[in-house]
Chains A and B, each alone.
Chain A
């Protein structure tokens, strides 16, 4: 602790440069690359590596740590799971064409110097950084993007990423010159930039730069020189497509060059760790001109059971993690051991629009049920009849807050107070009064209210068995609602059965949890616009909208679809937000979904020696934390390991 080991050439001169360079970074000229990691400087001195200036592009991307200029060195020890390893994708390989801004207000160009878009979001012009290189030193240019485009279009390979699809088909990628590429869509596609900032495990935001042409060509049927069949046989796969998929996987193949800050040296599946070391050709610098990343090496302990990671964290063997072990039930034990493990907490703002969203089927096949579920007064009364605090205390051990299904107050750009808080307070008297007012005054011998046709007033809640908290909370709500004289039943079934009954429109009310509480509202506004197959309140509307039968929706829903098209038809952020705000305002009138609660906060842990990790970041899956907060700018304040 006492002797700060400044073996990195981050000198007073560099710090002084920072003061001069910081404003300049905002303008045109970027700081001159001047610092590099000692391990790289040694290789340069030994003649095994080109000097810094030759390795960086002419205009490197400049990003700074939230804790000032860092120092080089150290190993970031963390963990991962073997199947669907999203944490490595969110940390070491989060270098896509675009990045979310750290506050999730929008996107910025990351790999290219700039991405220009025309007014109606149909033509995107991508301007690459001149002189940029892959981690093996080969040039990265427009041909690499063109090769990726060819790969997507190949009938036997992965297919087009979601963000390359407009409503009228995939975009067309054209090379203008070695450093410029245009993407032209047949119809507006405003999700292009957002899509590339995301991490998905299938065809991800990295699809443009996942296939370095000079390397991947040899595994492609149309380009391979030499015997591709022999390579297929050697790899133990049966087709060249499988070989191609295998070789293009960044975590599995340490030979594939990348643009990431750390390059995998020990791949997933070989031993019980993934190890990634700094990329000597990484194209980002801090505002003092030091090449990033600061940290030399990232090591993921690959585990089957997260309990192992938890024990390692308690023993101080984890430097930063916000996955697998950051469950509410672990918070107490992590809190108690902060001192021994030498770590602190940071906040991950949740973005669930709701943990328990009750979607009332507006298109029920039975006419009488449809009328009942469409009665807004009825739904409002039910909402007042829920003792949300009781559910929060018992099911979520107090770690939640009562709210309707809405964008959260923590994302003020889209927060609609009426949508979030209407009919929220627990008031059984008011609820009963409202039900009486709605005309359900008759009751049968058991005290249940009757519909106009003399049938019992009631419905069935459908929920999936694999999320226990939904069934538990559902059971409590059945009780709350039966107290109002409404005969509610809970069906807990396998998740696949929920899906098939939902798709067939054979349900009354379905419980689900939904994202969409922050910026992800612009990606999946499912509870408010029936644009996704999870919109259980209007499946026939969803089918109609995608042109697969269904039923024409009423005017208010058509209006929602029009607004949603507007959101996607312009690249102007303010216009998109404005259209989205209207959607949310209309949704408050519709009130098709009753929400119960949203989580209060989530957390990650970070070593006391580590700097550059913000105190707060979004915890949404769609934000891919901590990627947008720039892990290459994290650093260690002392020689901890």
Chain B
């Protein structure tokens, strides 16, 4: 097993190299560079930049080199732990990202738990009570959550909370707690705000998981070993949870690989609409304005997490299901 892990870790290096190279190149693919989008941002606000200032900025940001020169200079710094300079935010990339990672992680983790807590029992229920009223009702709700765009749900919830409850909208804290040190009251305030993004992000993914759980479990339930166990007089509850459900969990576990990067990237659109200080919107704006080091670093971090997550889920799967072996 150790040899397997070592081999997998070794494979990661070329994979990550290629991902970072390709993503860095793609960020720069549209015509023009960061300065062009910067200038048009200014022009949209009615201002402009003189030719001299453009030249000064171009020289300061070393935008004249080829993509490859820029890539290798950046990569060299990344290996030493320096992710470079964000043009748009006018400060180091680390400062832009790390300040947001904590809350992003919190929101994503909370919505992941929300999804599991909701989807798992419903999935089991609707498999066991196939085609019952409950099955249809939950499936309908799940699909509704999947079909309604997150941003729309966010806007509607914000509007309702403003007009009906007169509550401050956007962000994760009420104004009076924004800068207050952590306390029980502040935690409570956070929880009072947190349910909105968690519910919005969560509803979208529950439907998928419900269906996966339901389909897997249905497969298992009709297998002979279930019949055998039932014939041997095992209680229905123990039988269900001990064998078929455990097998039906496999897809959940293999999904962990994708959950890890999702924890950091957050839900960009929802975060923008709700004005959450998370990382998702940063990636979006960085890509839009061709802020190449910021976007490149972000994608690099996400790729590392994806690759590690895949490894973890493979290991978990092997641990969970003895039929899978290390090859």
Contact = CB atoms under 8 A, between A and B. Distances in A.
A150 B166 CA distance: 54
5 contacts: A202-B57, A237-B92, A249-B91, A311-B158, A621-B46
A203 B90 CA distance: 13
Interface of A: 77, 82-84, 86, 158-159, 162, 165, 200-203, 235-238, 242, 245-246, 249, 252, 266, 269-273, 275, 299, 301, 303-305, 307-308, 311-312, 314-315, 317, 352, 466-467, 494-497, 499, 515, 524, 532-534, 620-622
A500 B281 CA distance: 31
A496 B36 contact: yes
B133 interface: no
4 smallest beta-carbon distances between A and B, as pairs: A621-B46, A308-B170, A496-B32, A308-B275
A466 B32 CA distance: 14
B53 A308 contact: no
B40 A495 contact: yes
A304 B91 contact: no
A269 B168 contact: no
Given A304-B275, A524-B48, A533-B51, 14 more contacts: A84-B41, A84-B42, A86-B45, A158-B60, A236-B94, A242-B92, A249-B90, A301-B171, A304-B271, A305-B272, A308-B169, A308-B273, A311-B162, A495-B40
A303 to B, nearest CB: 5
Interface in B232-256: none
A272 B41 contact: no
Given A165-B52, A304-B285, A308-B170, A272 B277 contact: yes
Given A236-B92, A246-B91, A303 B36 contact: no
Interface of B: 31-32, 36, 38, 40-42, 44-53, 56-57, 60, 77, 82, 84-85, 88-92, 94-96, 99, 155, 158-159, 162, 166, 168-172, 175, 178-179, 271-275, 277, 281, 285, 289
B176 to A, nearest CB: 11
Contact of A201 (B42, B171, B281): B42
A388 to B, nearest CB: 22
B31 A245 contact: no
A236 B42 contact: no
**Residue among A86, A495, A534 facing the most chain B CB atoms (10 A cut-off):** A495
Contact of B48 (A158, A236, A249, A534): A534
B166 A315 contact: yes
B309 to A, nearest CB: 26
B82 A237 contact: yes
B47 A269 contact: no
A541 to B, nearest CB: 15
B273 A269 contact: no
Given A266-B179, A269-B99, A238 B77 contact: yes
B96 to A, nearest CB: 7
B92 A305 contact: no
B178 A272 contact: yes
A294 to B, nearest CB: 21
B77 A272 contact: no
Contacts of A201: 42
Nearest to B281: A304
Nearest to B84: A238
A515 B90 contact: no
A82 B89 contact: yes
A486 B212 CA distance: 63
Contact of A305 (B56, B96, B273): B273
A184 B170 CA distance: 52
Contacts of B271: 304
B303 to A, nearest CB: 21
Contacts of A315: 162, 166, 168-169
Contacts of A314: 162
Contacts of B46: 352, 515, 620-622
A534 B275 CA distance: 36
Given A200-B47, A237-B82, A311-B169, A305 B179 contact: no
B297 to A, nearest CB: 12
B275 A162 contact: no
A230 to B, nearest CB: 15
Contacts of A271: 178-179, 277
Contacts of A620: 46
A274 to B, nearest CB: 11
B31 A497 contact: yes
A235 B90 contact: no
Contact of A252 (B31, B42, B90, B171): B90
A252 B85 CA distance: 14
Nearest to A624: B47
Given A304-B285, A315-B162, A352-B46, A235 B275 contact: no
A308 B172 CA distance: 13
**Most A Cβ at <10 Å: residue of B44, B57, B95, B172:** B95
Contacts of B155: 307
Given A269-B99, A308-B170, A83 B47 contact: no
A273 B285 contact: no
A314 B274 CA distance: 16
Contacts of B90: 245-246, 249, 252
Contacts of A245: 90
A299 to B, nearest CB: 8
A272 B173 CA distance: 10
